[in-house]
């Protein structure tokens, strides 16, 4: 069973300086290594800030492209993991180990098998 | 399988044996098949199909020796056939077809020789139904549906919500269990304590819903207490080493023992202190005491055991003729330490009020964060009672009025109105309470 872990974090929690970023890296690397050790890791990536987001629609053949959306809520989607687990319980264990679980929230969503 | 489905089947002339099969084993058959399929809805459908086949064949060909195993086998074949017809179900169908099944249960308590041929998977189903990833209302409905065998209509009636709401809730929750792959299994040992607490909490919520019901309510609503006790017995039987489960069962039994003393012939609520203790159910109390003794052999003392110990003090007081409020206050202090809640603090204040006088009780009540109990009417009732005992009648009446404004329950309202009248009528406090002792 595959799950996506959607990582929501508060706006102000993202590191701003290279030093700050470097300080957070070991925890994320250890997390990725643990997922690989459990043979759960499939894919992962951080997302650029919402200020870089563009929204595209092509309803009824008419294309519209707009700036945003900008996160209006307290937390925003900052990245994702795709993992392979035996059950939701295993996915919850994996989500709880994520460094961002300590200050943000992790949404666990099953992928639909096609 | 719900009782309503049974109603449709009851035309069968072999009704008695099918009925037995339903009542005793439906929950177990469902649990086993749902675990195999990872899908409660599909398991329910397959088991219903199997009962329809039984209805057609048993009267003609005779009753099988192991009726439950027969139902489960037939249901499994139905489920496999159905999966094979689905594009994405084939792989699952072959896995299911290859599953060895029919190994004798190792359950030493199983009395039903028929059920010995199939395992008891109800524990796993219970943990799935009470999974923290499900909404609390959905947990309650699903537990009653799958393990209690209540129909959608019965659950709706019991919880005073439209049956369409319950039906929708059940469909959604069963699909989440399937789609998110919530395991129909006992959780890993390191998660067991918190997951067991979730199961206990659902069972206790079911009990409390029944406990709040009055005689004016529907029978199914009042029967929720019996259903919660029955399910907790199943849990205690499947997890015989868990003291908190024994504590929960004892707690329910202590409360349940007072059911005939809790209201008068006019449906008016009678508070614990004013109940005719002769009406308490001795058998239930004795059984609760026995569970408490069993629980005490284990080292761990959790919140249900402590609450049961408090209830036990009341039950005991009936023989001794007086309640040991000091001991009860002490137990609440202990409970507040391991399971802090403003309601526990309130109960502690009430116990202190009886043990050490209304002045101390009121002080303990004032020490609780007022916002936490702002909309909880028993807090105002407790305050009113302290004030009345202190001779502060006008303030007491205000507190009763505040409590009244917060409760819809007709029985409670009648009780509070009577109390308010009393507070207005009695001008002088009792001598022994004037000084706040």
Nearest Cα of chain A lies from the Cα of B182 at a distance, in angstroms, of 5
Residue A55's pLDDT is 94
| ipTM for this model | 0.87
Least confident of A38-47, B2-11, B177-186, B199-208: B2-11
Q: What's residue B111's pLDDT? A: 42
Q: What integer pLDDT is reported at residue B67 of this predicted model?
A: 80
**Structure token pair of residue B320:** 């001794």
Cβ B188–A89 below 8 Å, yes or no?
A: yes
Residues sharing a CB contact under 8 Å with residue B400, sequence separation 6 or more, in sequence order:
B380, B381, B384, B416, B419, B420, B423
| Per-residue model confidence as pLDDT tens digits over B275-297 | 888 899 999 999 999 999 999 99
Question: CB distance from A42 to chain B under 8 Å?
Answer: no
B10-19, B153-162, B379-388: which has the minimum mean pLDDT?
A: B10-19
Q: Looking at residues B167-194, what average pLDDT do you find? A: 94
Residue B114 above 80 pLDDT?
Answer: no
Q: Provide, as residue numbers in chain B, all residues whose Cβ is less than 8 Å from the Cβ of A112.
A: 179
Tell me, what's the pLDDT at B168? Answer: 96
Is B303 in contact with B338 (CB distance < 8 Å)? yes
Number of Cβ pairs < 8 A linking chain A and chain B: 26
- CA nearest to B365, candidates B381, B345, B387: B345
Distance CA B253, CA B315 (A): 11
Which residue among A86, A88, A113 sits closest to B180, beta carbon to beta carbon? A88
Chain B residues near residue A2 by CB distance under 8 angstroms: none
- Return the minimum-mean-pLDDT range out of B72-76, B115-119, B239-243, B422-426: B115-119
Q: Average the pLDDT over B1-29 and give the result.
A: 56
Q: Confirm or reject contact between B320 and chain A (CB < 8 A).
A: no
**Four-residue CA torsion sign, B92, B98, B99, B102:** positive
Q: Do A89 and B88 touch (CB under 8 A)?
A: no
Contacts of B13-21 with C-beta under 8 Å, sequence gap 24+, read: B13/B59, B14/B55, B14/B58, B14/B59, B14/B63, B17/B58, B17/B63, B17/B67, B18/B51, B18/B54, B18/B55, B18/B58, B20/B67, B21/B51, B21/B54, B21/B67, B21/B68, B21/B71
CA distance B133 to chain A (A): 9
Given a cut of 70, whether residue B115 has pLDDT beyond it is: no
A contacts of B131 (beta carbons < 8 Å) = 88
Taking residues B12-35, what's their average pLDDT?
A: 70
pLDDT for residue B261 is more than 50: yes
What is the mean predicted confidence (pLDDT) over B88-100?
A: 72
Q: pLDDT value at position B18?
A: 63
**Chain A: closest CA distance from residue B210 (Å):** 31
pLDDT at B312 over 60: yes
The predicted-structure confidence for B317-371, as pLDDT tens digits, reads as follows 876 668 899 999 999 999 999 999 999 999 999 999 999 999 999 999 999 988 8
B165: which residues sit within 8 A by CB, 6+ positions away?
A: B156
What backbone torsions phi and psi does residue B373 show, to the nearest 5 degrees? Answer: -115, 15
Domains: count for chain A: 1
Residue of B nearest to A107 (CA): B133
CA dihedral B358, B361, B366, B370 (to 10 degrees): -110
Q: Is A60 on the interface with B (CB under 8 A)?
A: no
Residues of B in contact with A86 (CB under 8 A): 181, 183
Least confident range of A35-44, B6-15, B46-55, B267-276: B6-15
Q: What number is the average pLDDT over the span B157-164? A: 90
pLDDT at B26 over 80: no
* DSSP notation for B114-177: TGGGS---HHHHHHHHT-TTS-HHHHHHHHHHHTS---HHHHHHHTTS-HHHHHHHHHHHHHHH
- pLDDT reading at A79 higher than 90: yes
Residue in chain A nearest B195 by alpha carbon: A89
Domain that holds residue A51: 2-110
Q: Residue B248, SS3?
A: helix
Are the beta carbons of A87 and B183 separated by less than 8 Å?
A: yes
B204's tokens? 């206790």
Report pLDDT for B123: 93
Flag whether pLDDT at A40 surpasses 80: yes
Pick B433 or B43 by higher pLDDT.
B43
Tens of pLDDT, residue by residue over B372-409, are: 899 898 899 999 999 999 999 999 999 999 999 988 77
In a mutational test of the A interface, the residue from B181, B182, B183, B190 whose CB has the highest number of chain A CBs within 10 Å is B181
Q: What are the sequence ranges of the domains in chain B?
A: 3-104
Instruction: Please check whether residue B133 touches A, CB under 8 A.
Output: yes
Which residue of B88, B133, B188 is in closest CB contact with A88? B133
Closest residue in B to A112 (Cα–Cα) = B179
Verify whether the Cβ–Cβ distance A113 to B88 is below 8 Å.
yes
Could you tell me if B88 lies within 8 Å of chain A, comparing CB atoms?
yes
- Chain B CB contacts of A113 below 8 Å: 88
Determine the Cα–Cα distance for residues B397 and B402; give it in Å rounded to an integer: 9
Region B101-127: mean pLDDT is 59
Ramachandran class of B136: left when φ > 0, alpha when ψ lies in -120 to 50, beta otherwise: alpha
pLDDT greater than 80 at residue B219: no
Amino acid B109: pLDDT: 36
Within 10 angstroms of residue B268's Cβ, the number of other Cβ atoms is 15
At residue A71, the pLDDT reads 67
B44 closest CA partner among B180, B155, B142, B187? B142
Neighbours of B26 (CB within 10 A): 24
B88, B179, B181 ranked by CB distance to A87: nearest: B181
Residue B425: is its pLDDT beyond 60?
Answer: no
Interface probe, candidates B128, B132, B177, B180, chain A, greatest A C-beta count within 10 A = B180
d(C-alpha B416, C-alpha B241), whole Å = 43
With b for 16 or more beta-carbon neighbours within 10 A and e for fewer, the A85-108 pattern comes to: bebbbbbbbbbeebbbbeebebeb
CA-based nearest distance A79→chain B, Å: 21
DSSP 8-state secondary structure symbol assigned to residue B103? P
Q: What's the CATH number where A55 sits?
A: 3.30.70.1060
Partner-chain contact B180 A110, CB within 8 Å: yes
């Amino acid at each position: 069973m595959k799950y996506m872990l959607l990582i929501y974090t508060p706006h102000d929690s993202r590191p701003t300086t290279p030093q700050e970023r470097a300080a957070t890296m070991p925890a994320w690397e250890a997390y990725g290594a643990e997922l690989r050790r459990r043979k759960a890791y499939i894919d992962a990536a951080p997302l650029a800030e919402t200020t870089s987001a563009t929204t595209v629609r092509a309803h009824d053949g008419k294309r519209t492209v707009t700036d945003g959306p900008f996160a209006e809520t307290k937390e925003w989607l900052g990245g994702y993991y795709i993992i392979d687990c035996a059950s939701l319980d295993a996915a919850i264990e994996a989500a709880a180990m994520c460094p961002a679980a300590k200050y943000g929230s992790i949404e666990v969503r099953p992928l639909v098998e096609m | 399988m719900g009782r309503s489905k049974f109603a449709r089947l009851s035309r069968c002339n072999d009704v008695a044996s099918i009925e037995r099969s339903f009542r005793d084993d439906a929950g177990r058959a469902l649990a086993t098949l749902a675990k195999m399929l990872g899908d409660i809805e599909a398991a329910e459908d397959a088991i219903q199909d199997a009962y329809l086949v039984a209805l057609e064949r048993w009267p003609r060909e005779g009753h099988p020796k192991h009726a439950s195993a027969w139902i489960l086998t037939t249901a499994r074949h139905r489920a496999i056939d159905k999966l094979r017809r689905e594009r994405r179900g084939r792989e699952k169908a072959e896995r299911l077809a290859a599953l060895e099944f029919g190994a004798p249960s190792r359950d030493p308590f199983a009395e039903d020789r028929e059920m010995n041929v199939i395992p008891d998977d109800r524990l796993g189903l219970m943990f799935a139904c009470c999974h923290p990833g499900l909404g609390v209302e959905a947990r309650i409905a699903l537990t009653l549906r799958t393990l209690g065998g209540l129909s959608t209509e019965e659950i709706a009636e019991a919880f005073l919500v439209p049956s369409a709401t319950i039906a929708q809730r059940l469909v959604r929750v069963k699909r989440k269990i399937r789609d998110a792959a919530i395991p129909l299994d006992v959780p890993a040992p390191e998660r067991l304590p918190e997951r067991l607490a979730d199961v206990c909490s659902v069972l206790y919520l079911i009990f409390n819903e029944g406990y709040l019901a009055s005689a004016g309510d529907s029978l199914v609503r009042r029967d929720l207490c019996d259903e919660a006790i029955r399910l907790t017995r199943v849990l205690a039987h499947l997890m015989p080493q868990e003291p908190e489960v024994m504590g929960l069962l004892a707690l329910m039994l202590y409360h349940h023992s007072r059911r005939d003393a809790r209201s008068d012939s006019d449906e008016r609520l009678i508070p614990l202190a004013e109940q005719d203790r002769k009406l308490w159910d001795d058998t239930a109390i004795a059984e609760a005491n026995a569970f408490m003794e069993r629980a005490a052999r284990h080292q761990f003392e959790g919140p249900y055991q402590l609450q049961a110990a408090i209830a036990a003090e009341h039950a005991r007081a009936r023989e001794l003729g007086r309640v040991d409020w000091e001991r009860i206050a002490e137990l609440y202090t202990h409970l507040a330490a391991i399971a802090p809640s403003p309601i526990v603090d309130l109960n502690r204040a009430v116990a202190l009020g009886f043990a050490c006088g209304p002045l101390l009780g009121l002080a303990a009540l004032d020490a609780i964060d007022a916002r936490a109990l702002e909309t909880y009417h028993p807090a105002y009732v407790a305050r009113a009672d302290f004030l009345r005992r202190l001779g502060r009648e006008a303030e007491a009446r205000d507190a009763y009025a505040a409590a009244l404004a917060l409760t819809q329950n007709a029985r409670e309202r009648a009780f509070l109105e009577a109390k308010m009248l009393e507070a207005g009528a009695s001008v002088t406090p009792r001598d022994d309470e004037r000084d706040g002792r």
